[in-house]
Structure 1
């Protein structure tokens, strides 16, 4: 009996210049797609980050105000490793982000401000791989980002943004979802994988609270494993997978 064929992932389109990544927490992009970001900035593309929270509820041993300041510093250092200098925080509450017009408006404003052709976010579905329940924050931000990509181009949705000088931007061509259990495309991670490991390591405080494993061994094993597993569907090349939604 022959093994079923593994469906192959297509290369993510690369005919774009500006991308905006929108996620819930510090470290979401480092676990999800930093190797792809490194390859994009290497190619001269502009990538900016927007985070809905500062991750203030993410470390049990640190009270939120101190945790938020520390995780912001770690996120900015982490972004710099992969060539991203612009990192903004929306200051929604960590762990209690609500999907709805307020979140959509904040993300639409960011899209209007940055005017990206590609928007990146994290898994918006209920589960990871069909078996592990996703967090409410990831679901809310991922779904709101998919919706805000359309909201940003409609002047009659959130007209107050136009009054604030943020003109509609209908130039988003794709939303790419990292961490999806239904990926369609991938980006070669070969050149960016080492920097992705270093980028995740900048979240040392969080990692040390999460595991007793050596932080570098933890980050390297995890990201290399993800990339190699994706590579089985991408001509054997280590890769970062995305579910791509054209617009």
Structure 2
């Protein structure tokens, strides 16, 4: 087996993300993970005619202290679907793992591999799978479990002898995943120009109003705009002066 060739950039500089693909699958733990992480990039991709599908491991039912899970789950699902529509994503699926206690393991890998087989993406997107966001900013166990399982499931989806029950269910192996892109990584390698999609990214995050209003006392739109624009502008120095959404790209 030959090792894949990965283009390298000058130290600290980010390369443009690959563009020779048509279908992407974004797999994350919770409603709002993609909106905080990379929706400006997704808006630009869908503008260009690419298809992006969302798969969420949970419905975010444990995310709001003042709202019991049975009432929180349908509300957060509704907000996620509205949020996805803002950036041109029509298909949003939920795997119904339990929010806050997602377990890394074969059950999670199987569910994500099944989603990959259903949607047959060339690019898979997930969120930071490492213990921290960099330094001592601790990540959540849900993000770690889903990110790691997604990286593994990209290979599982192409092996007919792993989870053979999926083939029996009519989900044929898909070995067409070429990259897994990790948003929110402290070690990004590539980036996407955020300029075309940043305004819709702000409004996409704003659709999670119930969650945001509990999270901050700041005006929700001011909060969303300052958070997202601050993040993409912080990457400009590493991407030719252009505000950017960064990814850590793993080739397959």
TM class by shorter chain equals over 0.9
Give aligned pairs, total: 243
Instruction: Give 1:171's aligned residue.
Output: 176
Which whole-Å CA distance do the structure 1 matches of 2:117 and 2:236 have between them? 34
Per-residue deviation, residues 12-62 of structure 1 (Å, max 9, x unmatched):
001000000000000000000000000000000000000000000000000
Task: Summarize the alignment of residues 123-134 of structure 1 with structure 2, pairs less than 5 Å apart.
Answer: 123-134=128-139
Instruction: Give 1:231's aligned residue.
Output: 236
- Which structure 2 segments of 5+ residues have no match? 1-9
- Which structure 1 segments of 5+ residues have no match? none
Instruction: Give 1:36's aligned residue.
Output: 41
Contact kept in structure 2, 1:6 and 1:233, CA below 8 Å: no
Task: Summarize the alignment of residues 11-26 of structure 1 with structure 2, pairs less than 5 Å apart.
Answer: 11-26=16-31
Which whole-Å CA distance do the structure 2 matches of 1:24 and 1:210 have between them? 18
| SS of residue in 1 equivalent to 2:54 | strand
Task: Summarize the alignment of residues 140-219 of structure 1 with structure 2, pairs less than 5 Å apart.
Answer: 140-219=145-224
Q: 2:80 aligns with which of 71, 75, 82?
A: 75
| SS of residue in 2 equivalent to 1:175 | strand
How far apart are 1:131 and its partner, in Å? 1.4
Instruction: Give 2:70's aligned residue.
Output: 65
Kindly report structure 1 stretches of 4+ aligned residues shifted beyond 3 Å: none
> Given the two structures, how large is their TM-score scaled by the length of structure 1?
0.98
> Given the two structures, how large is their TM-score scaled by the length of structure 2?
0.96
Task: Summarize the alignment of residues 105-120 of structure 1 with structure 2, pairs less than 5 Å apart.
Answer: 105-120=110-125
Which whole-Å CA distance do the structure 2 matches of 1:41 and 1:65 have between them? 33
Q: 231-240 or 77-86, which moves further after superposition?
A: 231-240
Q: What's the C-alpha RMSD, in Å, of the aligned pairs?
A: 0.7
Which whole-Å CA distance do the structure 1 matches of 2:170 and 2:236 have between them? 44
Contact kept in structure 2, 1:186 and 1:240, CA below 8 Å: yes
